[in-house]
Structure 1
Amino acid sequence: MTRCAAGLLAAIFALAGCQGSEMEIGSPVTGEEDYIALCSSCHGASGIGDGPAAAGLSPRPADITKLAAGNSGEFPLIAVMARIDGYTRAPGVMPEFGQLFGEELVPLETAPDVFTPTPPRLIALAEYVGSLQR
């Protein structure tokens, strides 16, 4: 391999590495990554409401590990997405995150035979919250 070709390959890999880092830092792509970036400071890593910012909040962040238990054992996916997005506002200090999820939409069945355009990141985040249920 010539020195020029080796230099070109190194530059391509360097640019690919920079682009990957930007995506990871600026745009989490999994529900868990979004949870860590957006929710864990208040709700804590395990979701019980004990994040580092929780002590200074009134009311305290909800224990989101008990959402299914408080809903007859069924995780309320649609209600959780509405709360995260900001569509429903209950008294409290939780920010609205809907603006962060971008404009990409996919159909989500929100009722039998009813499909609602929904950001995939919002679905992934709500599903991750569902995985925290006890």
Structure 2
Amino acid sequence: MYRLIVPALLTLTACAPESPASGRMLFADKCVVCHGTTGRGDGPLAAQLDPAPADLTKIAERRGGVWPQLEVMGIVDGYSKRYLPGSDMPIYDEFVSGPLVSFDTGNGLRSRTPAPLFGIARYLETLQDPAPTRRVP
């Protein structure tokens, strides 16, 4: 019986709404068309966009090796775009809806955020090349 339960629990954990695996699925569904399958900004529509889509694999490198979790979530959720227009990046309501998850914002306090938004940010962190040397909220 345990041979059935443990794999099932591992599968559920890997597909949890806030997991990098769920973020990978959202990325494939919404972001690949512009950012490409590897996140380097070379998707099928990239050549038609001005400015060109960002290379998402270099977010941490552009910040001296630091992974900026909240900054990334703020870009992905479209909050800043509503007030600072200037890119063709669409706002996806799916990223800011659904169940909420709690995460440490870096100051010892826990904050609740939509699981899809947190999942896609966690997935983008896995794309970093080179990997981040430290993280900030």
Structure-2-length-normalised TM-score: 0.71
Asked if 1:104 is matched to 2:99, the reply is: yes
Distance in 2 between residues matched to 1:81 and 1:51, nearest whole Å: 21
**Letter aligned with residue 50 of structure 1:** D
Distance in 1 between residues matched to 2:117 and 2:29, nearest whole Å: 13
Secondary structure at the aligned position of 2:37 is classed as coil
Asked if 1:53 is matched to 2:45, the reply is: yes
State whether residues 104 and 110 of structure 2, in contact with CA within 8 Å, keep that contact through their aligned partners in structure 1.
yes
Secondary structure at the aligned position of 2:80 is classed as coil
CA shift for structure 1 position 113: 2.0
Over the matched positions of the two proteins, sequence identity in percent amounts to: 38
Secondary structure at the aligned position of 2:99 is classed as coil
Asked if 1:78 is matched to 2:70, the reply is: yes
Unaligned runs of 5+ residues in structure 2 are 1-20, 130-137
Distance in 1 between residues matched to 2:119 and 2:98, nearest whole Å: 15
Matched length = 105
CA shift for structure 1 position 115: 2.1
> Which structure is larger by alpha-carbon Rg, 1 or 2?
1
**Letter aligned with residue 64 of structure 1:** L
| Pairing of 1:11-22 with structure 2 (within 5 A) | none
Greater helix share, structure number: 1
Distance in 2 between residues matched to 1:67 and 1:78, nearest whole Å: 13
| Pairing of 1:62-77 with structure 2 (within 5 A) | 62-77=54-69
CA shift for structure 1 position 35: 0.5
- State the partner residue of 1:4: none
Asked if 1:94 is matched to 2:98, the reply is: no
Q: Deviations over 1:84-134 (max 9, x none)?
A: 10122252111112x213231122222312322101111111111111111
Unaligned runs of 5+ residues in structure 1 are 1-28
Distance in 1 between residues matched to 2:54 and 2:87, nearest whole Å: 10
Of 19, 33, 37, the residue aligned with 2:25 is 33
RMSD between aligned alpha carbons? 1.4
Of 109, 117, 120, the residue aligned with 1:114 is 109
Distance in 1 between residues matched to 2:47 and 2:90, nearest whole Å: 17
Q: Give runs of ≥4 in structure 1 deviating > 3 Å.
A: none
Deviating more after overlay: 70-79 vs 38-47:
70-79
